Amino acid sequence: MENSLIFTKIIHGKIPANIVYQDKIVTAFKDIKPKAPIHILIIPNTFIKSLNEINTNNKNIITHMLYTSIQIAKKNNISEKGYRIIINCNEHAGQEINYLHMHLLGGKKLNPLN
């Protein structure tokens, strides 16, 4: 099974997930293997494979994903201490799921990036 289908099924409630926010444009849910006390994935409801598929027609989705992440950080009381937002793109960045997703990480002091 193409692994992007996992996220499509989560959006439509066909695979159980801990959804923390959903609107017409994005869905946010807890990562199944959290790397921090708060680890939430924010994805567009319409399939986009990776950042490389962002174009003039769909670029506003990035703003909405980012704004949603910031609101979730505030709601989880991690905004004052700080948090990290990551998007992995393709092999060198370690993108495992071929469905554009933003990681929101926080709730502890995070390791430096490499």
- Give SS3 for 108: coil
Does residue 29 belong to the site contacting ligand 5GP (CB under 6 A)?
A: yes
Does residue 32 belong to the site contacting ligand 5GP (CB under 6 A)?
A: yes
Does residue 91 belong to the site contacting ligand 5GP (CB under 6 A)?
A: no
C-alpha–C-alpha distance, residues 113 and 99, integer Å: 22
Which residue's CB is nearer to ligand 5GP, number 1 or number 24? Answer: 1
What residues between 95 and 114 interact with ligand 5GP by CB under 6 A?
Answer: 95-97
Number of residues that bind ligand 5GP (CB under 6 A): 13
Six token digits for residue 98: 């071929």
* Residue 112 CA, distance from chain mean position: 20
